[in-house]
Chains A and B, each alone.
Chain A
Amino acid sequence: MCDMFNKAILQKISDYLWEIPQSYRKDMKVPARVYISQEMINTTEEEAFQQLVNLATLPGVQKYSLAMPDIHTGYASPIGGVVAIDSKEGIISPGLCGYDINCGMRLLLSSLTLSEIDSYIDKLASALQKEVPSGLGRGRKNKLSLLEIDKILEGGAERIVEQGYGVLEDLKHCEAGGKLEWANAQLVSKHAKERGRDQVGTLGSGNHFLEIQVVEEIYNSKIAQVFGLFKNQIVIMIHTGSRGLGHQVCTDYLKLMISALPKYKISVPDKEFACVPFSSPEGKKYFQAMAAAANFAWANRQSISYYVRNAWKKVVGNSGSRLKLLYDVAHNIIKREVYVIKGEKKEVLVHRKGATRAFPPHHSEIPDDYKEAGQPVLIPGSMGTNSFVLAGIPSGEQSFYSTCHGSGRVMSRHKARKILSASAILSSLRQKGIIVKCRSQKGITEEAPQAYKDIQQVIEVVHRAGLSIKVARLRPIAVIKGE
């Protein structure tokens, strides 16, 4: 472990971009950069910056190690960390994707306004809580066969839609079509598959949630129109990932890579950074297994959408029309992408750990109907605070087309439990007109707004720094949480 970081080392590039020079530590291969305001630097813990420095030491790292304004301490990379690694000569690292592979966001749009549905909100929130298991060990009643899990691992959201639990348009509006083609189910352990058998269509706990929200403000009417967003519209946001299956893939491959470190003579500042050359057999295997877990996460969010649509139909009825998928995007993932670096096109592995891809207009990997607008980016706030829809823009290339992923914690879960009162939080949310469905007090105190950075500040930084632009602000009216 390294000495504590001194924030005075940070050099200001602009109001929203700061740099830690390569000379700060002799093992740094590139400088480290963080998109953040002066005010937010003051509230970010030193260890998070130290972890950003660690990212800059990785073999094959290109240009800079980066952090988004929601940066906070993680366990290898800081949360909010982005690093692009040369795919020919660099490494791949499971710890930089994390345990919740393809944790991500999905937003479903209704055609109704708040005034049209106001009297149904409580009933709808209860129906959503009933339809989608949210807690711990609360899997679905029927376990899928291992054969079906294999099909999901290789088919992703497509496998779920094929079975009638969605429409083709859903797939067009998913990152990568909801399926990474290079996934290989055979490289996912039986333990991982066993863990996933009752978890397709489940929310999980912690900061995962379902929210009924209303579009409170439109910042960019042209892009909002393309995305199908309008003021006072009711939308439903889903935040979850690959559940126990994904956790097991990360655990399995970290163990493999720790044992392979001596073989490849790689030295890392922390074992959680364990990595191997991407071109090695272990590296290729992990990339295919990670893709399978990512596909499982897309299948999970697609299945949840099916249950959400069922609940919607039961409560609102057919007049409510179908919930349309705006977009589904990951914020914990490793992707192959091409950038011009030092005048040459280079393929890199972009590791995003708590960061969201934000491709600009006309990028080949975004849906045809969003080509002029840019990729939708979905940023959740903390419980009871605003969420945002952003869009990718050309100047986002500076951060390998990455932007923030949420608020970022500032208070430990343990401290939140000790000093905050669930009943006071619930009362404050009720006063704001927000319904909360959560089976445990612990889930409410740990995820209280006071435990997080101010989402508005995070969004202002990425907007002003040119990583993505604001399209709409969403206000929660009902929160369904895990425990």
Chain B
Amino acid sequence: MGYSWKYLEHPADIKVEVKADSLRDLFKGALKTLAEILHPENLQTEESITQELNISSLNQEVLLVDFLNEVLTFSDIYNAIFDRVEFKVFEPQRLRAIIKGKRVKSFREEIKGVTYHGISIKKEDNHWRAILLLDV
């Protein structure tokens, strides 16, 4: 999959832009972006973890936020970073997926929530682009 992300300016929180070749890769790329922001240096353990998700939302944009928030929830409960996802169902308003990652001793960032503020998913030329604001 191809994806890229970068920080955008925001006075208090973390605003990021994620780009990917397809909509499905945009969701995967957003998950990896979250993992990179959360990821501590040299503090991961070798213990793997998988978790099943089943999410229904109002529309695709809300679904992306709900997906990432669900990932954050399990990160916090299990002290884990999830950086891979396998979609079993991937529809505009619903997804079922297995997320995979590793347990960690600590996080680099405390993300309180992925907000719905200014959330956008757009198809531009030959790629998909999402803007996300994370409350930290």
Contacts and interface: CB of A to CB of B under 8 A. Distances in A.
A79 interface: yes
A75 interface: yes
A194 B110 CA distance: 17
Interface string B56-74: 0110001000100100110
B116 A254 contact: yes
Interface stretch (B6-14, B17-25, B26-34): B6-14
B110 A204 contact: yes
Interface in B71-119: 72-73, 76-77, 79, 104-110, 112-113, 115-119
Contact of A76 (B77, B117, B119): B117
B136 interface: yes
Contacts of B58: 258-259
B133 interface: yes
B52 interface: no
Contacts of B119: 271
A272 interface: yes
A448 to B, nearest CB: 14
A204 B40 CA distance: 16
Interface residues of B, number: 35
A98 interface: yes
Interface stretch (A116-124, A407-415, A457-465): A407-415
Contacts of A482: 110
A413 to B, nearest CB: 7
A98 B135 contact: yes
Interface string A42-55: 00010010000000
A409 B11 contact: yes
B93 to A, nearest CB: 11
Contacts of A206: 110, 136
A346 interface: no
Task: State which size class the interface on A falls in.
Answer: 35 or more
Contacts of A254: 116
B14 A251 contact: no
Contacts of B105: 137
Given A72-B11, A270-B117, A99 B135 contact: yes
Contacts of B112: 98-100, 247, 250
B38 to A, nearest CB: 8
A239 to B, nearest CB: 14
A1 B73 CA distance: 28
A191 B115 contact: no
Contacts of A139: 79
B12 A136 contact: no
A205 B133 CA distance: 18
A414 B14 contact: yes
B106 A483 contact: yes
Interface of B: 7, 9-14, 40, 57-58, 62, 66, 69, 72-73, 76-77, 79, 104-110, 112-113, 115-119, 133, 135-136
Interface of A: 1, 45, 48, 72-76, 79, 95, 98-100, 135-139, 191, 194-195, 204-206, 244, 247-248, 250-251, 254-255, 258-259, 270-272, 274, 409-415, 440, 442, 482-483
18 contacts: A45-B11, A72-B12, A73-B10, A75-B118, A76-B115, A95-B116, A95-B117, A98-B135, A136-B40, A138-B106, A195-B76, A195-B77, A255-B69, A270-B118, A271-B119, A409-B12, A413-B14, A440-B108
